[in-house]
Amino acid sequence: FVKTRRMARASVNRFTMNLRTFFNWAQLHDVVRDNPFAYDIDKTPTGTFTVRNERGQMIEISDSIRRYDDDVVERLCSYMVSPEADPREALVLYLIIFHLLTVTEICNAKIPSLAASAENPPGDCDRARDFEYLLVPVRKRSRGRHSPGREGPIMKFPKKAACWLRPLLERYFEKRSYGGVSEYLFVSQFDRTRRNRPVCSKSIRLLVNRASRRVLNGTVNPRDLR
């Protein structure tokens, strides 16, 4: 007997799904005429939607490549850099649009000066680091579908954006003080920060919905926006 290493069925399905999504994009933009990984016509495809391509044909493509119009993102960015914008809403939009943070990552993001660490205790002298980077949790590697999206926990702010990002962070940190100390970037106004726990994902989605209602008179989904 010879032991042969083969891919698991889940891995084959995942790679096939990625190839199908790529050819969906290519077919949508008229790069290829046909999708070699077309959906099974005998089964009702899930996670797809019907759209018209550049040749006027109706095709079935994956909903993972759906995107908002450029005008939607531009209007959200204009609101984000505005001094009159709500700092909580503007900061969430910034983290999603420019750093591609998920809702879970935003909930668990920590402030460097307040993050509990034995080597680096929190203090007022470390406040300058809060305007340079954030601490974002990194998922552990596994043999399943989960893959670490980031190599390290430090997410640096771009220096080119300091002219408008630093005033935004200053306004946010000023509004963030609720009488307690929490190492997490976002804290709930209805929960005492002495518990030192992250906010729920519903709070982040609510901020995105409120910002989109102000700007677009409608709602956007954080996942689709990312």
Task: Please name which of 190, 219, 176, 182 lies closest in space to residue 87, comparing C-alpha atoms.
Answer: 176
User: Going by C-beta distance under 8 Å and a sequence separation of 6 or more, which residues neighbour residue 129?
Assistant: 112, 113
What is the residue-averaged pLDDT of the chain? 82
- Per residue in 185-196, pLDDT (tens digit) is 998 766 554 567
| Residue 1: Cβ-neighbour burial (10 angstroms; 0-12, 13-18, 19+) | exposed
* 91 vs 36, more confident: 91
- Please say if the pLDDT value at position 148 is more than 70: no
Residues in the chain: 226
- Please say if the pLDDT value at position 118 is more than 50: no
> Hey, is 52 helix, strand or coil?
strand
- Per residue in 10-53, pLDDT (tens digit) is 888 888 888 888 888 888 888 888 888 776 655 656 777 777 77
Give dist(CA 66, CA 82) in Å, integer: 28
- Per residue in 65-81, pLDDT (tens digit) is 777 888 999 999 999 99
Backbone angles phi, psi at 71, to 5 degrees: -65, -35
Confidence of residue 121 (pLDDT cuts 50, 70, 90): low
